[in-house]
């Protein structure tokens, strides 16, 4: 059974009827550019083949009901007119509904705030995006829901507007202070392309990556260490970035260049400086990666990936031993480049590998995890895939 079938089956169990349509949105992996999004900087993600499906049908009583194969608890149902009493969730508090339900209900609420309105709906969700692995199952559920309601409510919002809706749901309904990258990648993805996104202007350019043409593959190494975005470390990093920008007298770290780092080091404490240095150098690495992809192709970006990982491990301090082991063992086994990807504190790393070496690298990573006493990682290759769409 595919995730699309699962969504349909769940919908039929819920309502006794067939859905009016099925929409889906993919997870994403970030090739490079980590924690730069909320600093108004640059990122280079691509959508992956794993998707979240929403089977949706209209109802005529003005209520919205959401169910998911991910959640054992009962479906959550409220009146559309009640959403404005449930959200926004006060900072630091848990949503007034089950957390998973705050994603789709938050999307409906954010659409209402954007002026959209329409009939009540039943939404049944199923996904093959690994949850909590840094592959943005959250943007996938937001993108699938937002695409469905945009069509069914005739809201006419474009993909960038729907990405903003998803982000608003995640920030204000769920209470996770994340940037816009995940939603943009999930909405705008195209086969064989990465999305070069300027997070200040939301200007997005598709960059052909040519990974397959170069005889390469992207290996995802999911450590299965769960990360928790909404808490602790992520918030602390954001605050350090805001502090660093304030000390430098700029609106965001996007406005600090590599040449400014010597001055930054004099002005701030060591921890804040290293957080700043990661963001500033990472922005430059994204620009360099885009140039390198254009001029020399995917096989030439390995060193940039490796430098990105070192910066996250040593300056931003968001890696964990499992991620370091994945990166180091993949490189030792011949990967061209490797880095942790996503918010950090767990989740997944990626390795750029020659297609003929995928098995050898995978075996080496699995062996290194076993030798360290870590749970066995999930390893699979991905190619850049299509963004949000209507499937049926």
Q: Is 345 in the site for ligand ADP (CB under 6 A)?
A: no
Residue 184 Cβ, how far from Mg ion at the closest point, in Å?
Answer: 13
Residue 125 Cβ, how far from ligand ADP at the closest point, in Å?
Answer: 5
| 137 labelled ligand-binding | yes
166 binds, among Mg ion, ligand ADP, none (CB under 5 to 8 A by kind): none
| 36 labelled ligand-binding | yes
203-208: strand order across its sheet: 42-43, 193-198, 203-208
Cα–Cα dist 270/262, whole Å: 12
- Closest CB to Mg ion: residue number: 138
Going by their DSSP bridges, the two strands 193-198 and 76-79 should be labelled as unpaired
Q: Is 68 in the site for ligand ADP (CB under 6 A)?
A: yes
| 265 labelled ligand-binding | no
Asked whether 308 and 301 are in contact (CB, 8 A), the reply is: no
Question: HSE on the CB side for 328, CA within 13 Å?
Answer: 13
Of 135 and 338, nearer to ligand ADP (C-beta) is 135
Q: Is 71 in the site for ligand ADP (CB under 6 A)?
A: yes
Query: Which residue, among 302, 282, 277, 279, has the nearest Cα to 292 in the 3D structure?
Result: 302
Q: Which residues bind Mg ion (CB under 5 A)?
A: 136, 138
Of 136 and 289, nearer to ligand ADP (C-beta) is 136
- Mapping DSSP to helix (H, G, I), strand (E, B) and coil, where does residue 28 land? strand
Question: HSE on the CB side for 226, CA within 13 Å?
Answer: 4
Number of residues in contact with ligand ADP, rule: CB under 6 A?
Answer: 20
38 binds, among Mg ion, ligand ADP, none (CB under 5 to 8 A by kind): none
Residue 377 Cβ, how far from ligand ADP at the closest point, in Å?
Answer: 16
Other CB atoms closer than 10 Å to residue 214's CB: what's the count?
A: 17
Cα–Cα dist 179/139, whole Å: 11
When binding is defined by CB under 6 A, the residue of 86, 131, 261, 271 that contacts ligand ADP is 131
Options 122, 182, 222, 324, the catalytic residue: 182
Q: Which alpha helices (H) appear in the chain, and where do they start and end?
A: 3-15, 83-86, 99-113, 137-152, 159-168, 181-188, 232-248, 261-267, 270-296, 302-314, 321-332, 358-372
Unique residue bearing structure tokens 């954001």 = 238
Is residue 182 part of the annotated active site? The answer reads: yes
Asked whether 376 and 128 are in contact (CB, 8 A), the reply is: no
Q: ∠ CA(229), CA(235), CA(240), 5° rounding? A: 140
Site string for ligand ADP, 92-111 (x = CB under 6 A): -------xx--x--------
Query: Which residue, among 81, 67, 61, has the nearest Cα to 19 in the 3D structure?
Result: 67
When binding is defined by CB under 6 A, the residue of 112, 137, 171, 319 that contacts ligand ADP is 137
365 binds, among ligand ADP, Mg ion, none (CB under 5 to 8 A by kind): none
Of 43 and 125, nearer to ligand ADP (C-beta) is 125
Residues that bind ligand ADP (CB under 6 A): 52, 68, 70-71, 99-100, 103, 125, 127, 131-138, 141, 229, 342
Tell me the binding residues for ATP. 68, 132-138
Catalytic positions are 182
Annotated binding site for substrate: 34-37, 234
Q: Which residues are annotated as a binding site?
A: 34-37, 68, 132-138, 170, 234
């Amino acid at each position: 059974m595919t995730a699309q079938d699962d969504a349909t089956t769940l919908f039929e169990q819920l309502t006794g009827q067939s859905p009016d349509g099925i929409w889906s949105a993919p997870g994403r992996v970030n090739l490079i550019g980590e924690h730069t999004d909320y600093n108004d900087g640059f990122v280079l993600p691509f959508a992956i083949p794993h998707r979240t499906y929403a089977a949706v049908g209209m109802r005529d009583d003005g209520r919205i009901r959401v169910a998911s194969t991910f959640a054992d608890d009962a479906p959550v149902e409220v009146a559309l007119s009640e959403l404005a009493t449930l959200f926004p969730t006060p900072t630091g508090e848990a949503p007034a509904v089950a957390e998973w339900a705050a994603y789709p209900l938050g999307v409906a609420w954010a659409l209402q705030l954007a002026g959209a309105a329409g009939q009540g709906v039943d939404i049944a969700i199923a996904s093959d995006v690994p949850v909590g692995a840094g592959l943005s199952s959250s943007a996938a559920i937001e993108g699938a829901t937002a695409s469905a309601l945009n069509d069914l409510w005739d809201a006419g919002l474009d993909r960038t507007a729907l990405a903003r809706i998803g982000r608003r749901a995640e920030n204000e309904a769920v209470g996770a202070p994340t940037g816009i990258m995940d939603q943009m990648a999930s909405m705008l993805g195209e086969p064989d392309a990465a999305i070069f996104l300027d997070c200040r202007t939301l200007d997005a350019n598709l960059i052909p990556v040519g990974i397959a043409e170069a005889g390469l593959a992207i290996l995802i190494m999911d450590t299965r260490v769960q990360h928790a975005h909404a808490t602790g470390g992520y918030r602390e990093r954001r605050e350090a970035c805001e502090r660093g920008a304030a000390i430098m007298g700029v609106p965001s770290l996007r406005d600090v260049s590599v040449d400014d780092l010597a001055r930054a080091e004099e002005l701030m404490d060591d921890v804040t400086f290293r957080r700043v240095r990661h963001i500033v150098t990472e922005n430059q690495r994204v620009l360099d990666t885009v140039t390198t992809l254009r001029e020399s192709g995917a096989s030439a970006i390995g060193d940039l990936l490796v430098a990105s990982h070192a910066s996250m491990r040593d300056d931003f301090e968001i890696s964990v031993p499992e991620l370091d082991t994945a990166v180091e063992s993949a490189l030792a086994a011949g990967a061209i480049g490797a880095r942790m990807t996503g918010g950090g504190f767990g989740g997944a790393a990626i390795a750029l590998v020659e297609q003929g070496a995928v098995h050898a690298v995978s075996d080496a990573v699995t062996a290194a995890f076993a030798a360290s006493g870590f749970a066995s990682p999930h390893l699979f290759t991905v190619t850049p895939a299509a963004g949000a769409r209507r499937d049926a």
